[in-house]
Structure 1
Amino acid sequence: MIPRFAELFLRSGFAASFADKGCMSGYFAGVPVWLVTAEFSGLLGAGVALQQALDHG
């Protein structure tokens, strides 16, 4: 997501719409919705996963 749209996203009601899924609403209501703003979050996550795999291997 483009960072300049963060405020729009936060005001959009996305989290409420995400959770409002009829018979599945109970399940989706417990799923957190986060706006990730960290630069290179995918690479950071991959680095953590690699470190955990090396620590437990």
Structure 2
Amino acid sequence: VYIVGGVIPRFADFFVKSGFARCFADKGCMSEYFKGIPVWLVTAPYSGLVGAGVALEQA
């Protein structure tokens, strides 16, 4: 899971300490499945444009 854009990257320290990844993985009978899914906070500026540029370059 990639968390990108909006206000979350502005509060990166709070987000990392908030326990989001733990809560994301704590899903009862689905916990085994979700605990293997990494959670990433993208802080790079213009990451969408960079990704679009890479996709265009590879096309």
Normalising by the residue count of structure 1, what TM-score does the alignment of the two structures yield? 0.79
The alignment-based identity, stated in percent, is 72
Greater Rg by CA: 1
Higher RCO (C-alpha under 8 Å, 6+ residues apart): 2
Q: Greater strand share, 1 or 2? A: 2
How big is the alpha-carbon RMSD for the aligned residues of Structure 1 and Structure 2?
A: 1.2
Q: Which runs of 5+ in 1 are unaligned?
A: none
Count of aligned positions:
53
Q: Greater helix share, 1 or 2? A: 1
Normalising by the residue count of structure 2, what TM-score does the alignment of the two structures yield? 0.77
Q: Which runs of 4+ in 1 moved over 2 A?
A: 1-4
